[in-house]
Chain A
Amino acid sequence: MCAVDHSKNGEGQQVEQPERRKLLAWAVGLINGALLLAVFGPVVGFVTSPLRQRRTGSWIPIANAEELPSGMMKEVTFTVRVQDGFMAADRKYTLYLRRDADEVIALDPACTHLGCRVRYQPDRNRFLCPCHGGVFDEAGKVVSGPPPKPLERTPVKVEEGQIWVYREA
């Protein structure tokens, strides 16, 4: 510490000036705060970037319309090219398709309770969740158990003899 930083008392001992001490303490706090902000701000922005990611969607043909007679439930697995973080991946998805008269519905098999995959029981016309016993009817509505809402419906259309679903990725 430089001698000019201190005044001297009557006995010749160096005494720190309180104002100067306070100012330096503030300066240290300011420098550290600025450095923390400069590092942690971008780090937080970096880690939370998935929250700001914009999702894009597209229509995907997943089955021939002829393969789905009226009243039939069909489990269809299809592949979508997705950008999964640092890698492009061919990710597989499964949907249950059902045609009622002219309407086709596509149900996501993720249970609305906690995301376990429901299974269709053709003999009972019900979807059963293996985790917590949720039961859905063939339209995806909750029959019993803890699921809070019906199975998610994926947008679907029939064009050019194909069944198309809209998938966000």
Chain B
Amino acid sequence: MKTLTPERPVETHSENLTPEAELRVSRPGLRDWLDLRLGWWGFVRKNLDEPMPPGVGWWQTLGNLLLTLLIFQFVTGVALAMFYSPSPDHAHQSVKHLTENVPFGSFVRGLHVWGSSAIVIVTVLHTLRVFFWGSYKKPRELTWVAGVIIFNVVLAFSFTGYLLPWDQKAYWATVVGTRIAATVPFVGDALLHLIRGGPEVGALTLTRFYAIHIMLLPAALVFLVALHLYLVRRHHIAGPVMPQKGRPVAFYPTQLFKDAVVLLFGVGIVITLALALPPGLEAIADPTGTDFSPRPEWYFLGLYELLKIMPPGWEVVATVIVPGLVTVGMFLLPWLDRSESRHPARRQWVIVTGMLIILMIGLMTLKGLLETPPAGH
């Protein structure tokens, strides 16, 4: 074994040692001591020196932004969980308390609420970038598949987290959202019972959603993100669609600086929103109310609108078939797209189909934003 770090090689053989290196071996400093055991610096160095193909730039910063937002979401989530009580008797009260009485409570909750929307937006942008650049092609198929699962986990986070404040908005959105499960043929009612923990949205729905939100999904996400990052590094970052002239540049510092600028911008927006538009809290959930109009989170509005145009008896098309086909299509994309080239012009049917789907989702979401009244009385 010869080197400890590229910058500070530590000789472990006695011959040819400088007095300084000999001292480091016999009486290592903390950094050397740790590094001999962890090999950490070599790992960091390898990642910092990762070669970026020419043409890689701002579009490749979205992954880092997403990772950072997820870490912040984890941190604010842990903090919120310290003040939250997942029981219908106390959930609303605890959220009200942490928002209004605990120092920085409104800000921390604001970061979590706005962060969830930001994560959805950045996940979509990151996915679109990979889609249009054709970066999912061999040998990166499984990197894409892991990403698609992460996308679905992000949506599951949003759905389960929405109920936790136990206010009118949360309760009724969950009543409607879980009811979607009942439209699944044959097993719909059983599925609805299983998700709710009973026939109605109640105490067991809240504990179920809480457990999934703070335990199951984070565990799944950590595993999936680790797998995704491992695969990204294993296969290296896919360069531009058409190879560009020039030499690869190390990730550090050029690309990392771009990442930092985008982080400053992206996280800055979330912080600004958390300060300028602190999260609200409706009245406590009231199952008797007949005058409350539910409204899902904005990124589920497209699906909500699709349900509006389905004729009676065809709900399953909007609740299962269309979302199911889109999800399965995303999973299978690397194998559906058989073209050798990553260039959009040489894989026209994939690009056209993708754009039509994106357009449909965008239009339905816009229609929902414009036509669905805000949640309230």
Contact = CB atoms under 8 A, between A and B. Distances in A.
Instruction: Tell me whether A and B are bound partners.
Output: yes
Interface of A: 48, 50-51, 53, 55, 75, 77, 84-87, 89, 91-94, 109, 113-119, 130-133, 142, 145-149, 168
A131 B89 CA distance: 28
Interface string B302-322: 001001111111110000000
A118 to B, nearest CB: 7
Contact of B207 (A85, A94, A131): A85
Interface of B: 87-89, 172, 175-176, 179-180, 190, 193-194, 196-200, 202-204, 207, 286-294, 304, 307-315, 373
B198 A50 contact: yes
A93 B196 CA distance: 18
Given A92-B288, A113-B307, 20 more contacts: A51-B193, A84-B88, A85-B203, A85-B204, A86-B204, A86-B207, A87-B203, A91-B287, A113-B315, A114-B180, A115-B176, A115-B179, A116-B293, A117-B290, A130-B373, A132-B304, A132-B307, A132-B308, A146-B311, A146-B315
A113 to B, nearest CB: 7
Contact of B199 (A55, A117, A145, A148): A55
Contacts of A85: 197-198, 202-204, 207
A131 B176 contact: yes
Q: Which of A50, A51, A142, A147 has the most CB of B within 10 A?
A: A50
Contacts of A50: 193-194, 196-198, 204
14 contacts: A50-B196, A51-B193, A53-B198, A84-B202, A94-B289, A113-B315, A115-B175, A115-B176, A116-B176, A117-B289, A130-B373, A131-B293, A146-B308, A148-B315
B312 A147 contact: yes
Contact of A116 (B199, B294, B311): B294
Main secondary structure of the interface of B (DSSP, over half): loop
B88 A116 contact: no
A114 B203 contact: no
Contacts of A53: 198
Contacts of B315: 113-114, 146, 148
Nearest to A129: B293
B312 A93 contact: no
Contacts of B304: 131-132
A130 B293 contact: yes
B89 A114 contact: no
A94 B179 CA distance: 19
Contacts of B199: 55, 168
A114 B290 CA distance: 14
A53 B308 CA distance: 33
A83 to B, nearest CB: 9
Contacts of A77: 288
B291 A119 contact: yes
A91 B199 CA distance: 13
Nearest to B290: A117
Contacts of B311: 146
Q: Which of B290, B312, B314, B373 has the most CB of A within 10 A?
A: B290
Q: Which of B89, B190, B293 has the most CB of A within 10 A?
A: B293
Given A116-B294, A132-B307, A146-B307, A89 B88 contact: yes
A119 B290 contact: yes
Nearest to B176: A114
A89 B204 CA distance: 12
A88 to B, nearest CB: 10
Contacts of A133: 308
